[in-house]
Amino acid sequence: MSHKHGLRFELAPDEEQAARMGRHCGLSRVVENFCLETVRKKKAQQEAEKTYGIPEDELTKVPWSAPALEKEWRAAHPERYPWFAESELSSRIPKEACRVRAAGIKNYFDSRAGKRGGARMGWPKWRKRKHGSRFRYDADRAKPINTHTVRLPSIGDVATREDMSWLTDRMAAGKARVLGATIKEQAGRWWISFQIEVDRDDINKHHQVDDDAPKCGIDLGLKTFAVIRNSDGSREEIHAPKSLNAAQRALRWANKKLARAAEDSKNRAKARKRLSRLYLRVADRRREFLHQTTTRLTRTKSAIAVETLHVKGMVRNRRLAQALSDAGLGEFVRQLEYKANWYGATVWKADRWFPSSRTCGDCGRINRALALADRVWVCTGCGTCHDRDDNAAGNLLAKMLEEL
């Protein structure tokens, strides 16, 4: 069975290759902004024509789709952007930039019409340099040619700092193919992310969870990242590294250096790069912790009960917003779901309003007076003393076993 997912590898380009990749990032940004500008102008012209009583079939057409946007770009770039033809940049980058903008516009309208699930999508924003440097190739135009080299059109063969044998071996055996590739720069380092379709049956079978593996309930929190109650009666606590909190002192120092540096100076560029490296380290530590934890749980638990968290609403609490963002609770649940599908586990999500923390695990009485600061509470019905997180994990486990 084939699965679609991504693989990221760090690149090791030389100075000339890094400069060319930077120019491709600029090209992608220019084309994305051109698409937004074109749509806005054509839409304004169409609205103006309606006020003049022009028939519907004679109105200016708004280029909503990727082919229409690409057609507008091909017609405009010889005059507006003559440097594109002269700089020998890849013609695939504008094509993908148009697709990105068309997809963003479609998501906006689908979200407004209720055809798209998830959070409400906004109108695509104008791209700026500070928003990050990236560009994309379609299909397998960017692909690995051996375990430590990738071929990028109009850039050349670029070395990687990581071994890609996991991917290249499967491509050679016909078990994987590249669907697209995105190149991104952060803190002076370059990465390539391959979107692939791969047959994972051999991997999933090797790490398949045992049928008699314990089931568990997981209560997620901030003081203790996860409290786990297993069906065999055992209990476990997982503590997150809190990488953003640990880096606050260094981040304050780096931000001060950046604020004191003169505009457009070399010192300011160095300070900005130093700050970017700190944030990158924070993100890497969080990502590694979440992946290691979710992989271990989905390979050792046959069923996992978790809460349905409204993280977007929770971060509106300004006292908890930083800690919630640092924990990555939403990403933790997302990874559990797709990895459980790989390894044969089951993820059961409680109803958003299920009172897991307020319900007594012994008598079932609901303590509606329980406050967020109460970490230990005594049930007024049966007198049992509960640890808040442990009780919630047990209630989640019990509810899952009841429904499954």
200-211 tens-digit pLDDT? 888 888 899 998
Residue 109 domain-assigned? yes
Looking at the fold, whether 193 and 231 belong to one and the same domain comes out as: no
Rounded Cα distance between 356 and 219, Å, is: 9
CB 22 within 8 A of CB 133: yes
Does pLDDT of 39 surpass 90? yes
Domain boundary among 201, 232, 252: 201
Residue 256 lies in a domain: yes
Q: In whole angstroms, give the CA distance from residue 362 to residue 391.
A: 9
Task: Specify the pLDDT at position 2.
Answer: 82
Per-residue pLDDT at 371:
86
- Is the residue at 209 inside a domain? no
What's the confidence (pLDDT) of residue 259?
95
My answer on whether 241 and 352 are in the same domain is yes
The mean of the pLDDT values for the chain is 92
Same domain, 243 and 342: yes
pLDDT at 119 over 90: no
Beta bridge partners of 348: 305
Residue where one domain finishes, among candidates 201, 227, 246: 201
* Confidence check: pLDDT of 117 > 90: no
Give the separation between CA 393 and CA 143, rounded to whole angstroms: 45
β-pair partners for 13:
none
Residues 194 and 232 in one domain: no
Model pLDDT, residue 362: 86
CA distance 125 to 305: 37
Same domain, 275 and 328: yes
- CA 216 vs. chain centroid, Å, equals 26
Shared domain for 191 and 240, answered yes or no, is no
- With respect to residue 278, please indicate whether it lies within any of the assigned structural domains: yes
The model's pTM: 0.88
- Mind listing the pLDDT tens digit for each residue in 8-23? 999 999 999 999 999 9
The per-residue pLDDT for 198 is 93
The pair of structure tokens assigned to 387 is: 């640890």
CB 273 within 8 A of CB 189: no
Residues 77 and 224 in one domain: no
* Edge-to-edge strand ranges of the sheet holding 143-146: 143-146, 149-152, 156-159
Question: 124: how many CB neighbours lie within 10 A of its CB?
Answer: 19
Q: Provide the domain count of the chain.
A: 2
Report if residue 73 sits inside a domain: yes
Q: Which amino acid is at 320?
A: L
Reply yes or no on whether the pLDDT at 175 is more than 80.
Answer: yes
In this structure, what token pair is assigned to residue 355? 């009172």
Q: Dig out the tokens for 284 from the structure.
A: 């890497």
For residue 363, the enclosing domain spans 215-403
- Are 172 and 310 found together in one domain? no
pLDDT confidence bin for 306, thresholds 50/70/90: very high
- Tokens 């786990």 found at: 228
- Cβ neighbors of 48 (< 8 A, separation 6 or more) are none
Judgement on whether residues 173 and 243 belong to the same structural domain of the protein: no
Residues 244 and 155 in one domain: no
Residue 207 maps to a domain? no
Element (H, E) at 127: none
Residue 55's pLDDT is what? 87
Of 178, 218, 167, the residue nearest 340 (C-alpha): 218
The stretch 125-142 carries a mean pLDDT of 90
pLDDT for residue 87: 86
Which of these, 350, 338, 373, 398, lies nearest to 221 by C-alpha position? 373
Is residue 62 a part of any domain in this protein? yes
Average pLDDT rounded to a whole number, residues 380-402: 90
Other Cβ atoms within 10 Å of 142 Cβ, number: 24
223 and 350 inside one domain = yes
Alpha helix locations (H) across 81-91?
Answer: 83-86
Same domain, 163 and 245: no
Geometric angle at alpha carbon 218, from 349 and 304, rounded to 5°:
55
Residue 317 lies in a domain: yes
The DSSP element (H or E) to which 179 belongs, if any, is strand 176-186
Which of residues 155, 177, 201 is at a domain's end?
A: 201
Distance CA 287, CA 17 (A): 28
